[in-house]
Chain A
Amino acid sequence: MKLTKRRREALVGYLLILPWIIGFVLFMAYPLYFSFYMSFNKVLITPYGIETHYLGWSNYKDAFLTDPEFSQKLFLFLKSNVLMIPIVIVFSLFVALLINQPIRGRGIFRAIFFLPVIITSGEVVQELFSQGAATIPLIEKYGIVTMLQDNLSPAWADPIVGVINQFILILWYSGVQILIFLAGLQKVNTQVYEAASIDGASPWVIFWKITLPEVKPFILVNLIYTTIDLFTNGFSDVIKLIQDNMFKTDTGFGYASALAWIYFAVIFVMLLIIVLFFRNKERGVPAARR
């Protein structure tokens, strides 16, 4: 049989992703399916193997109705992340713009701002956080925290204070994002900038009219990356709760799985909102320009 070009291309494509698919099915897809199944069961780990009793939705109901901590922690975490994500994005775009400038020592600065990649994924950040090195003492000293608590309802003051307390931590979560933005910035043709500045555009105008539209697809990539990064790192209180529940005898793996799936659903919905919001805007912008 002679292969058409399209057939051949598809075949090559499948061959290239084959190792990934095998690994994925074995170590991600099947475990995910299994944990989904377990989330509807009471799971007991006995010396003779795993015993399951079918429970229906009751693990999920318990999570919201009887668990004193879960929904509260989930909600608080969600709120603080809604605040943190834009900060990470703006900060990393800002830094990417700066280190894209032709300045002396640019190579060194690029290395420095990429350092977070090795800080945040290891034990290092855990250690730092437990030592209280991630807070800014100045803020507490000048009473910003108490000012916020006095003026805002506790429902919003708490997450904002949380963000302030973790501000340095936020900066450390921006390594990969800076890299992605930098790649986007370097794709912009420098002649466009030159043409614009010859036409008398100020750097401010150039940023809004040329740079920002060019890096827009990268903003979406970074939003997705940041959301996932913040939600799945070891700092999440919700993840800690899930891990605690996993080996408790009265709740167990089934309940922990149910919590994990609820958490997953929350992240998923959040990303869906981000993507939809972005797609709408994408469509809106060229129309407005015309």
Chain B
Amino acid sequence: MASFHGNKINPSRFGLGQLKFYAFLIPLGLFMILPIVFIFSQSLKPLNELFLYPPTFFVHKPTFENISRLLSVSDITAIPATKYLFNSLIVTVIVVILSLIISAMTGYALSKKKFKLRKVIFEVNTIALMFVPAAVTIPRYLVVERLGLINNYLGHILPLLALPVGVFLIKQFVDQIPNELIEAAEMDGAHDLIVFWRIVLPIIKPAMSTVAILAFQMAWNNTETSILYMSHETLKTFAFYMTTLTTTIGNNVAGQGLAAAGAMLMFVPNLIIFIIMQSRVMDTMAHSGIK
């Protein structure tokens, strides 16, 4: 059973014994890529292909018409698209960084620090995960209004920060770090900050990268805060702008092409972040020194 050796990512040789794994991995892998192919192919379809029945998966005569129409439409609106893009970038960057810090601190404390409420708080966090987000829309609006965050950048940011999924995932990963490792570091005189920064964070990198991806998507694709909390057009985000473009201007047959192009444009940043982060996601547990 030589195949159980080592933690190298790619073995140097390709053996026949690996063939049986490929038999499963390649077809399943193709299924996983399909949606991405689809979203690109859809945005390149000319109108007559978009309305084919039964719908086709791949584009036959690719055209950039949808995308160029989308961009030209955005030229004639009063506020330049770059303004929305700028808002989205600021909001997304801040949300990702802050929610990472908060989730990591909370997950670490809930896993390794002993204090009375920690079990209760983790359960409460898990319970919060279960709640239908739509049901708290109205009360959340009231809170945001009372905090004076209407028409304020913070209104985009603060409601997204307490990310229950993040705390849940990070705590599960921190649980895997043996207490001895932390105790040994403390014995050597490392205080809390150093333990957290030098030991915990490197080990939970996969979880952190996952949370970063999730937080990015949540912030980037978010239209709710723009619709509910922002009445000044200049404060709204790119995701909101895309939905208005595709619903108001494109609410007709020709709009389907705009919608497909918009979906593609919204999706590309997600894909980029994913590509940047994924190597960290999948590959660190084996090298992190915990076994």
Contact = CB atoms under 8 A, between A and B. Distances in A.
A110 B25 CA distance: 10
A9 B115 contact: yes
Contacts of B253: none
Contacts, number: 271
Given A10-B115, A127-B39, A172-B32, A256 B135 contact: yes
A246 to B, nearest CB: 7
A16 interface: yes
Interface string B25-46: 1001101111110110010000
B14 A104 contact: yes
Given A194-B4, A228-B130, A14 B115 contact: yes
B48 interface: no
Interface string B104-135: 01101110011111100100111111111111
A239 B134 contact: yes
Contacts of A119: 35-36
Interface string B207-224: 000100110011001000
18 contacts: A9-B115, A13-B113, A23-B162, A31-B136, A32-B139, A34-B138, A95-B28, A103-B18, A103-B21, A109-B29, A122-B270, A124-B35, A186-B285, A203-B1, A232-B133, A239-B134, A256-B134, A263-B132
Interface of B: 1, 3-11, 14, 18, 21-22, 24-25, 28-29, 31-36, 38-39, 42, 54-55, 57, 102-103, 105-106, 108-110, 113-118, 121, 124-140, 142-143, 147, 158-159, 161-162, 164, 167-169, 172-173, 176, 192, 206, 210, 213-214, 217-218, 221, 260, 263, 266-267, 270-271, 273-275, 278-279, 281-283, 285-286, 290-291
Interface of A: 6, 9-10, 12-14, 16-17, 19-21, 23-24, 26-32, 34-35, 38, 45, 94-95, 98-99, 101-107, 109-119, 121-125, 127-128, 131-133, 168, 171-172, 176, 179-180, 182-183, 186-187, 189-190, 193-194, 197, 203, 221, 224-225, 228, 231-232, 239, 242-243, 246, 253, 256-257, 260-261, 263-264, 267-268, 271
The 7 residue pairs across chains A and B that have the minimum distance between CB atoms: A13-B113, A23-B162, A260-B135, A34-B139, A31-B139, A197-B1, A16-B109
